[in-house]
A and B are shown apart, each in its own frame.
Chain A
Amino acid sequence: DSGVTQTPKHLITATGQRVTLRCSPRSGDLSVYWYQQSLDQGLQFLIQYYNGEERAKGNILERFSAQQFPDLHSELNLSSLELGDSALYFCASSGSGSDEQFFGPGTRLTVL
C-alpha cells in the first residue's frame, strides 16, 4: 500500500459526459501528479500540482482540468468525454524536493 488513495476505482460513462476523479496523497506529500495510461499512448504525464499551485503541464487536453485543494487532495476533471479518453488514470504523490513518486491504484475510466 503506497498510501495514495484514488476514487472511484472504476467509472463507466457515456460520450459527452463529465467526470471527476479524486486523489488523496500520502500524508505530508505536497506534490500530486496525474498520469494517463491508455493502450494507444501508453503512460503519459498530464499535470502536476504542488501545495495547491499548478507546477507543470504535460500532454493534458484542454477538456481536462485539475486542481489541488487546501487539504492537498486533488481532483482531475474530464469533460466532453470521447471514446478515446477511456484509460487508467493514475495519481502519484511525492514529498518536497523528492525524486520518488508513490502511485495510487488508479481509476479505470470507460467511455461508451
Chain B
Amino acid sequence: AQSVTQPDIHITVSEGASLELRCNYSYGATPYLFWYVQSPGQGLQLLLKYFSGDTLVQGIKGFEAEFKRSQSSFNLRKPSVHWSDAAEYFCAVAARDSNYQLIWGAGTKLIIKP
C-alpha cells in the first residue's frame, strides 16, 4: 500500500536560514508527488509537483524539491525562509491507477524564529 512519511512533526528555523523538509514515500512504481502548504485557518495550496522528467522541481514562493528514486524521497527545500513561510507543509503521493487520490503525510509544522 502507498504511504508517506514526514519524520519531523515540527521544525524551527531562523528567518533567512535555509530549510529542508523531509518526505519519504512507499509505492511500487513512480508515483506522482506533491507538496502542499496550509497556513493557519486556510485551505491547502499546491507548492510543487513531480511526475516525470527533471528530478529537481521548482515551485511557487521560492520552494524546490528533489525526487530521489533510490531513497524514495521527495524533500522540500528553500534557500532562505521568510516569516510568512510559517505554516504546515504536507507531502502527498498519488497514482494514476487510483484516480489520483492523494495519500498524505502527517505534515510538518514550520516555525520561524525572528
CA distance in complex: A74, B2 (Å)? 27
B43 pairs with A2, CB closer than 8 A: yes
Q: Which of B9-57 touch A at CB < 8 Å?
A: 32, 36, 42-46, 49, 51
Interface residues on A, range: 20 to 34
Min distance, Cβ A57 to any Cβ of chain B, angstroms: 9
User: Is residue B94 contacting chain A, with contact meaning CB distance below 8 A?
Assistant: yes
Kindly state whether residue B100 has any CB partner on chain A within 8 Å.
yes
Q: A91-112 vs B: 1/0 string, CB under 8 Å?
A: 0101000111111111000000
B98 at the interface (CB under 8 A from A): yes
**B101 touching A103, Cβ below 8 Å:** no
| Partner-A contacts on B (CB < 8 A) | 32, 36, 42-46, 49, 51, 90, 92, 94, 96, 98-107
Considering the complex of A and B, which 5 residue pairs feature the smallest CB-CB distances, nearest first?
Answer: A43-B104, A103-B44, A105-B43, A45-B101, A56-B99
